[in-house]
Amino acid sequence: MKRLSGWDAMMLYSETPNIHMHTIKVAVVDAAGFDGDYSFELFERTVRKRLPGLDPLRYQLVDIPFKFHHPMWLENVPVDLDFHVRRARVRSPGGRRELNQLIGELASTPLDRSRPLWEFHFVEGMAHDRFAVICKLHHALADGVASSNLLAKAMDPRPFASDDERPYQPDSRPSTSEMLREAGRDHVRQIARLPRLVKNTAGGVSRIRRRSNERDRNPALARNFRPPETFINHVVSPTRTFATATLAMADVKETKNALGITINDLVLAMAAGGLRELRLRYEGKSDQPIITSVAAATDTSPDRITGNRLSGIFVSLPVDVDDPGERVHLTKVGSGIAKEKYQLLGPEIPGRWSAYLPPPFAPFAFRRMAASSAQNKLFNLPISNVPGPRERGSISGAPMTEIYSVGPLMAGAGINITVWSYADQLNISVLADDVTVRDPHEVTEAMVRAFIEIRSVADLSIQLTVIETAMAPA
């Protein structure tokens, strides 16, 4: 058994009836050239064979008596594949829009905490001999980097050491007294670490203040802890909608190189342009910059397949600026300042403080937040950019042509934008509730239009490269 980290536990505590804390991973498979019958039974056999090598899929939550500490993972539990591996079918004609609709429906229900926190849905009925695998994976199990590594390991064509299907030995559940004793020892260690944490935090805050005093405040950037009210920010409903779009990585790299920015800056500038369009449509104005929370990994090891090793930075998005070139510039400036503050504070500091969340009270506090109509004082919405697998993989012997991923909605924010790269693609995913936008594809389409605007500023062709292997646009 092993203790959940503070971040892992927070992903559990923040789950409420209207905030589901699972992430969604989607792999599209092209079985047109597959030799034989590509079927649910074949996929299930593959999962059964690979399961012993995918450790997080064999973890089950164990609560500590009296909520005396964060829960623990019981490792190597038996897994009922009849429950975890399921069949699904998209509506005709089985294209991108129909797949996205099914994903939204599956994302609308929470995972069963009495079992390992994942589900695989094998999707049939897609056009052009395509299939899809939709994975619901609880955020407590893995962050974006760990999920990417886990997916890469699952689709690696090389055999696992466990591919001989030898049974693994389930761990035994500890007694109540053993759990309480270990929890007590953990608390003693945490208390001992607290003075150093306070000192390091104070030092980081002091460094940020000194640097802020040295730097002239840019009035074009949003002020910390003052995100404006927007159509995105309200009590989130429990129903989810989903949308995707695919860009060619060659176009993305050409654009960021021409402008001298990073891919992350480009993604944020696209989001700024798209969200400006949507604010004008839904609010009739977009006169203030907004704030986005951008996840930042503190451990990017390619071998890590579980746990949350992350922090967050708060970046000003210039959705109030009409000129796309100026939006790119202000996004780069805002992102640079946010990254500098992140480093000055210390990337590990927020994660270390999360270990001190009080288990008896944290879930109640998060439920209050999820039901409150008060404006979130930290950010308007989360946006993530995660480097996915660079090499094409396969599932059950058929090539995987696309990967999409999205994180959960946060309390008070009805949209989550997650971008994953895969081989020659940059794939945009949008999760929303059913009251924020009429159609989540409005968000993806607005971001693509913003990308074209940015390319025009860089004097590049506005004709985007067509990814022949990807599904047609919705």
* Catalytic sites, residue numbers: 139
Helix H, strand E, coil C: the string for the chain is CEECCHHHHHHHHCCCCCCCCEEEEEEEEECCCCCCCCCHHHHHHHHHHHHHHCHHHHCEEECCHHHCCCCEEECCCCCCHHHHEEEEECCCCCCHHHHHHHHHHHHCCCCCCCCCCEEEEEEECCCCCEEEEEEEEECCCECHHHHHHHHHHHHCCCCCCCCCCCCCCCCCCCCHHHHHHHHHHHHHHHHHHHHHHHHHHHHHHHHHHHHHHHCCCCCCCCCCCCCCCCCCCCCCCCCEEEEEEEEEHHHHHHHHHHHCCCHHHHHHHHHHHHHHHHHHHHHCCCCCCEEEEEEEECCCCCCCCCECCEEEEEEEECCCCCCHHHHHHHHHHHHHHHHHHHHHHCCCHHHHHHCCCCCCCHHHHHHHHHHCCCCCCCCCEEEEEECCCCCCCEECCEEEEEEEEECCCECCECEEEEEEEECCEEEEEEEEECCCCCCCHHHHHHHHHHHHHHHHHCCCCCCCCCCCCCCCCC
Q: Which residue has the tokens 């081989």?
A: 423
Distance, in Å, from the CA atom of 279 to the CA atom of 428, rounded to the nearest integer, reads: 19
| Token pair listed for 431 | 């999760």
Question: What are the distances in angstroms from CA 231 to CA 2, 72, 280, 301, 380?
Answer: 41, 38, 10, 38, 10
**Which of 283, 339, 324 minimizes the C-alpha distance to 460?**
324
